[in-house]
Amino acid sequence: MSDSSPAQRILPQSLRIFPPDWTQPLPLAELFGNARPIELDLGCGKGRFLLARAAAHRDVNFLGVDRMLRRVRKVDNKARRLDLDNIRVLRMEGYYATTYLLPPASIQTCYIFFPDPWPKARHHEHRLFNERFMDALHRALVPGGVLHFATDHLPYFAEVRALLLADPRFEPVEPFVPTPDEQTDFERYYVGRTEIGRCSCCRRAP
Ligand SMILES: C[S@@+](CC[C@H](N)C(=O)[O-])C[C@H]1O[C@@H](n2cnc3c(N)ncnc32)[C@H](O)[C@@H]1O
């Protein structure tokens, strides 16, 4: 294969994605090596959920996105050790990735678990979830595709839930509750200690 082939941009032995062009939608089928459905874990952290889910669903592709290099490397190393070739990891800011790097209607399911809550009012603008992000999410999900959201920060939860309920492009569905082996690191810490807000919705078909 020539150097210009996007598939070559995955480092040998690595499951990380290095986009051939950071301004263009990723050639996801080429990067995964197949056209199976893709599930996205946005802010995947150390990847406990992503790895468990990918191991249990080998016929589905999983894309983990996180902006912290250390975490992305950790997920990459663990996924390779577990031989999970249905995982790819991308180090990138979540809004940018959803808006510019995910092709339209490419994601079957998006998981956003325990995103940074930025609790101080003057920092709310740093939150991932807002109306602009809803547009990006709507564009990236396939019609009928689902978002699952969970957080221990109840004011942030109320805000996200209100945004979703007010948006006619989305329809509420049963919230996702992970099995114990699929709990994220943050979920494992908070479960039983504090209330966890969960909501899920699906992108309505046009
Ligand atoms: C609180 S941790 C939760 C990690 C994991 N989802 C869990 O539940 O254990 C938030 C993660 O999201 C990442 N993150 C925060 N803001 C982000 C953004 N705008 N884009 C991509 N990743 C982000 C952080 O680096 C961190 O790994």
Q: How confident is the model at residue 12 (pLDDT cuts 50, 70, 90)?
A: low
Helix 154-166 and helix 131-140: axis angle, to 10°? 60
From the CB of 191, is ligand 1 less than 6 Å away? no
Domain range list for the chain: 38-203
- Taking the CA of residue 115 as reference, the ligand 1 atom at the shortest distance is 10
Residue 137: name the closest of 173, 88, 176, 97 by CA.
97
From the CB of 171, is ligand 1 less than 6 Å away? no
- pLDDT, tens digit (0-9, with 9 covering 90-100), for 47-101: 999 999 999 999 999 999 999 999 999 999 999 999 999 999 999 999 999 999 9
- Taking the CA of residue 126 as reference, the ligand 1 atom at the shortest distance is 19
Structure-model confidence comparison of residues 202 and 206, the more confident one: 202
Q: How confident is the model over 31-35, as a mean pLDDT?
A: 96
Q: Give nearest CA residue, ligand 1 atom 11.
A: 43
- What is the pLDDT at residue 131? 92
How crowded is the C-beta side of 79, counted as CA atoms within 13 Å?
31
Q: How confident is the model over 148-175, as a mean pLDDT?
A: 97
From the CB of 178, is ligand 1 less than 6 Å away? no
- Taking the CA of residue 71 as reference, the ligand 1 atom at the shortest distance is 27
Q: Give nearest CA residue, ligand 1 atom 23.
A: 43
CATH topology of domain 38-203: Rossmann fold (3.40.50)
